[in-house]
Amino acid sequence: MQHFKTLSAYLDYLELPGPEHPMLSVFSAIGDGFLPCPKESSPPITNDCYSISLKKIVKGDLNYGRTKYDFTNGALIFIAPRQILQWDESVVYDQKGFSINFHEDFLEGTELANQIKKFGFFSYSANEALHLSPKEEKQIESIVENIDIEYQNNQDEFSKDIIISQLSTLLKYANRFYERQFLNRKELSNDLLEQFNKHLSAYFESGQLEEKGIPGIEEIAEQLSVSQRYLSDTLKKETGKTSTEHLQLYLIDEAKNILLNPNKTISEVAYELGFEYPPYFSRLFKKKEGISPSAYREKYTLN
């Protein structure tokens, strides 16, 4: 798989104009202009850059990770370094919107370098992109216009700080708008939680737990056709608990039933539940229930 270490090499591969700054590129068609067209198709590629773009896909599929971008409304898409990208000639873009690309080293030594890793939407798949209301779109576009003005100006000692400050503001607004999107998609959130629980039930009842061990969140997310980060964030917004916490609670509930069988040792219960190390099971049980597995068994067997 081809990997691009510099922004210039990546843009050159895309057949787009070179950047004004070696680590930053801004293409804006918010007004009357049009975005330049990238090359028509590409096998899987990766690069060391962040991308933030507002585009419309008129038709066709854009593969991002393992998921297809298949909606036609305009959406704000975030791509992190070393994410896999692939598309073919069937993809047709509306040439309005914007595209900001910057090398990860552009943030080196800044507060944003640490902050950007906390924004979960850089790990979302393309079909989990941020859909903006007209009002939100105007707010984002006004920030991008400020970035573009500074990008087009002659660079001076203040340029980088101003641009990074604007990028930070853009990402904070995006985070706010994602919160709104989660709230407005409660039906989808409830459905995702139901699917999550059904998948766990089927996995446990099929005997895979003891055979294959505890399923990973990434594996569960893949089965549900969402990204791991999106699954966890959606469940967190809906229930106050992450996907990992839901999985742990499911295991503890199963453990309570099995512990009532006095013929099984605590270690046997742990192994049956897919834990590789019984002490970890005991610590998790005590953390969630406030008492150890053996104390729980003694308490409820006596009752």
Please tell me which residue, 262 or 267, carries the higher pLDDT value. Answer: 267
Instruction: Give me the chain's average pLDDT, please.
Output: 84
* pLDDT tens string 145-173: 999 999 998 888 888 999 999 999 999 99
The per-residue pLDDT for 93 is 58
In this model, does residue 32 exceed pLDDT 80?
Answer: no
- At 194, the pLDDT band (50, 70, 90 cuts) reads confident
Q: Are 17 and 11 in contact (CB under 8 A)?
A: yes
Backbone angles phi and psi of 28, in degrees to 5: -130, 130
**Hey, what are 229's tokens?**
């980060």
Q: Spell out the alpha helix ranges (H) of 75-185.
A: 111-115, 134-152, 159-184
Cβ neighbours, 10 Å, residue 167: 24
The per-residue pLDDT for 33 is 67
Strands 62-64 and 49-59: unpaired
* pLDDT tens string 50-59: 999 987 554 4
In this model, does residue 297 exceed pLDDT 70?
Answer: yes
DSSP state of 169: H
- The topology under which CATH files domain 187-302 is Arc Repressor Mutant, subunit A (1.10.10)
Closest CA to 20 of 141, 159, 116: 159
| Portions of the chain given CATH number 1.10.10.60 | 187-302
In this model, does residue 195 exceed pLDDT 70?
Answer: yes
Please tell me which residue, 47 or 182, carries the higher pLDDT value. Answer: 47
Write down the pTM of the prediction. Answer: 0.71
* pLDDT tens string 60-105: 555 544 444 333 456 888 999 998 888 777 655 566 789 999 999 9
CB-count burial class (<10 Å; 0-12, 13-18, 19+) for 235: buried
| Portions of the chain given CATH number 2.60.120 | 2-184
Q: Are 222 and 116 in contact (CB under 8 A)?
A: no
What mean pLDDT is predicted for residues 225-233? 87
- The topology under which CATH files domain 2-184 is Jelly Rolls (2.60.120)
In this model, does residue 137 exceed pLDDT 50?
Answer: yes
In this model, does residue 266 exceed pLDDT 70?
Answer: yes
